Amino acid sequence: MQVLILGCGDIGTRVGLSLLERDWRVAAARRNPEQLPDQFDRFKVNLMDPASFAGLNTVAPDYVVVTPTPQSYDPAGYQAGFAGVAKTLASQRWIAQCRRVIWVSSTRVYSESDGGWVDEHSPLNLDEPQASSMIAGEAAIRRASTATIIRPAGVYGDPQGMLMRRIRAGEGGATGALYGNRIHRVDLSRLIVHCLERDHAGESVPPTVVGADHDQTPTHEIEDWLADQIGVTLIRPSDSSRSRAHRRCLNALLERIGFAFSYPTWREGYRAALDASANK
């Protein structure tokens, strides 16, 4: 089997290396392909530039994995990074011919904002421009090919990630949000591989999957825990208004498709990140 990973950053690289261990062939594309592992068939592609896709015409992937990112955090950046990329991909011959596309979206697409539960079938947020662009990207990919849309919650796990850097600097966030959702980067990459392997084995793969672990602890409580582990005192903003993300993600579908977490909650995940930092 051959997989083509587009926008191959940290998650895509983890997916590719795992598939190599399973004797898959891995082609990967990004703007700076020299940063990809030597074992990959590497291609220089700017997902924002349709002309750069011409170099992929020699690839006939069985599967395609796409990890799109916004070009900026304003509506135009999301439009280009999700809806725009999906439109370009939909015009590629090999998209229609591959067995399945795995498109990584986000739980940001959900409209729930009052602390309720969401799953794969929950209402979507068409009122926010950024979420609407992500939803449009999902729809374009579904029209172009058989697809599984994975909607991960907040991805974490980098010992040098933004939250870890803020805590080390003594900077805490607002305390207004009641619930938060997340998934470790190792588990997100494993979930992508799990879906690919299920399809390859002829087993059913859902059209939509919520990628979130078993915990909905508010971020400010995690910050307190990390600060205690590191031995710093946090300074929080005076404005403690509720943050935008305020929902609880159900992940029951993951168990039904046989997926088990390496890091079922943030406690295991951030413990591993702290240990990794201490060992450097």
Q: What are the pLDDT digits (tens) for 193-238? A: 999 999 999 999 999 999 999 999 998 999 999 999 999 999 998 7
pLDDT classification of 67: cutoffs 50, 70, 90: very high
pLDDT in tens, 122-161: 999 999 999 999 999 999 999 999 999 999 999 999 988 8
Cα 86 to Cα 103, 135, 145, 170, 211: the distances in Å are 9, 10, 11, 40, 20
Compute the average pLDDT of residues 83-109. 97
Is pLDDT at 241 greater than 60 in this prediction?
no
Domains of the chain: 2-278 (3.40.50.720)
CA neighbor of 121 nearest in space, from 151, 99, 141: 151
Can you give the pTM of this predicted structure? 0.95
pLDDT classification of 244: cutoffs 50, 70, 90: low
What single string gives the DSSP state of each residue in the chain?
Answer: -EEEEES-SHHHHHHHHHHHHTT-EEEEEES-GGGS-TTSEEEE--TT-GGGGGGGTT---SEEEE----SSSSHHHHIIIIIIHHHHHHT-HHHHHSSEEEEE--GGGB---SS-EE-TTSPB--SSHHHHHHHHHHHHHHHHS-EEEEEE-EEE--TTSHHHHHHHTTB---S------EEEHHHHHHHHHHHHHHHHTT----SEEEE--S----HHHHHHHHHHHHT---B--S--PPPS---EE--HHHHHTT---SSSSHHHHHHHHHHHHHT-
Compute the average pLDDT of residues 37-62. 95
pLDDT at residue 131 in the model: 97
**Do the Cβ atoms of 3 and 27 come closer than 8 Å?**
yes
Is pLDDT at 249 greater than 90 in this prediction?
yes
Tokens for 56, please give them: 């992929």
Is pLDDT at 54 greater than 70 in this prediction?
yes
